[in-house]
Amino acid sequence: MGLDARIRYTKMVIKDTFIALLKEKPVNKVTVKEICDLAEINRATFYKYYSDPFDLLDKIELEMLSQLQSNLKTSPRSFREIFIFIMVNIRADSERYQTLVSENGDSKFPRRIFSICYEHITDDLGKQFPDLSPIQQEWLYSFSAQGCCGILERWISGGMSEGIEEVADFAQKLIEATTKAMASNHQ
């Protein structure tokens, strides 16, 4: 096994161990010693890559967000299509997402997911609402994204039992109602 493969393997073991611990307790109760003992590594190895469990959590999230961002560059553009895309990716790695969004993980993670989507939606908002100022378009996106974050959090914590299309259609209807109200107020 080459050096890069060993590094990737070591990081994977650390992350998997950490996720397993997050299933049992909040991030602020997870210790480096526990991670090292369960992962069968020494503390120096852990500190070579991460400063503490919070840094590890952040790096796991950044890695997942980076992967989503990379995939979004070649995927759909409408809010509904992006929402479906996100949900499909979440379902594919459901155990990790459920753990990260749980009360033991990071409740702000879904908001971070939607923050990476903004650049993919801005052209659509500009075309749909040319009379809105750029800041008003940001407000509209924030309003819609926060609502979708709530739906996404509930869907994840509920075990992702509802169909992706059903959830996306519901979110789309809410967004359409909001945008129709916005359009009628600006005519």
Are 60 and 38 found together in one domain? no
Q: What is the pLDDT of residue 123?
A: 67
Q: Do 71 and 42 sit in the same domain of this protein?
A: no
pLDDT of residue 133: 83
Is residue 36 domain-shared with residue 71, that is, in the same domain?
Answer: no
The residue among 53, 51, 48 whose CA lies nearest residue 38 is 53
Helix-then-strand count for the chain, H and E: 10, 0
- Cα Rg, the chain, nearest whole Å: 19
Structural domain count of the chain: 2
**Do 28 and 68 share a domain, yes or no?**
no
Please indicate, yes or no, whether residues 70 and 38 belong to a single structural domain of this protein.
no
CA 46 to chain centre: 24
Indicate whether 135 and 64 sit together in one domain: yes
Q: What CATH number does residue 25 fall under? A: 1.10.10.60
DSSP string, 53-68: HHHHHHHHHHHHHHHH
Q: How does residue 114 score in pLDDT terms, banded at 50, 70 and 90?
A: confident
CA 38 to chain centre: 26
The answer to pTM > 0.85 is: no
Domain's final residue, options 50, 68, 88: 50
Which residue segment(s) compose the domain that 169 sits in? 55-185
The last residue of a domain, from among 14, 31, 50: 50
Q: pLDDT tens for residues 56-93?
A: 999 999 998 888 888 777 765 677 888 888 899 889 98
Q: What pLDDT band is residue 47 in, cutting at 50, 70 and 90?
A: very high
- The C-alpha atoms of residue 89 and residue 94 are separated, in whole angstroms, by 8
Q: Are residues 159 and 103 in the same domain?
A: yes
Verify that 157 and 78 share a domain, yes or no: yes
Q: Is the domain of 22 the same as that of 79? A: no
133 and 179 share one domain: yes
Residue 29: pLDDT band with limits 50, 70, 90: very high
- Average of per-residue pLDDT across 29-52: 97
The percent of residues above 70 in pLDDT, for the chain, comes to 90
pLDDT of 139 over the 80 cut: yes
Same domain, 25 and 116: no
Judge whether residue 51 has pLDDT over 90: yes
- Domain check: are 115 and 78 in the same one? yes
Q: Check pLDDT > 60 for residue 99.
A: yes
1 pLDDT more than 80: no
115: confidence class by pLDDT, cuts 50, 70, 90 = confident
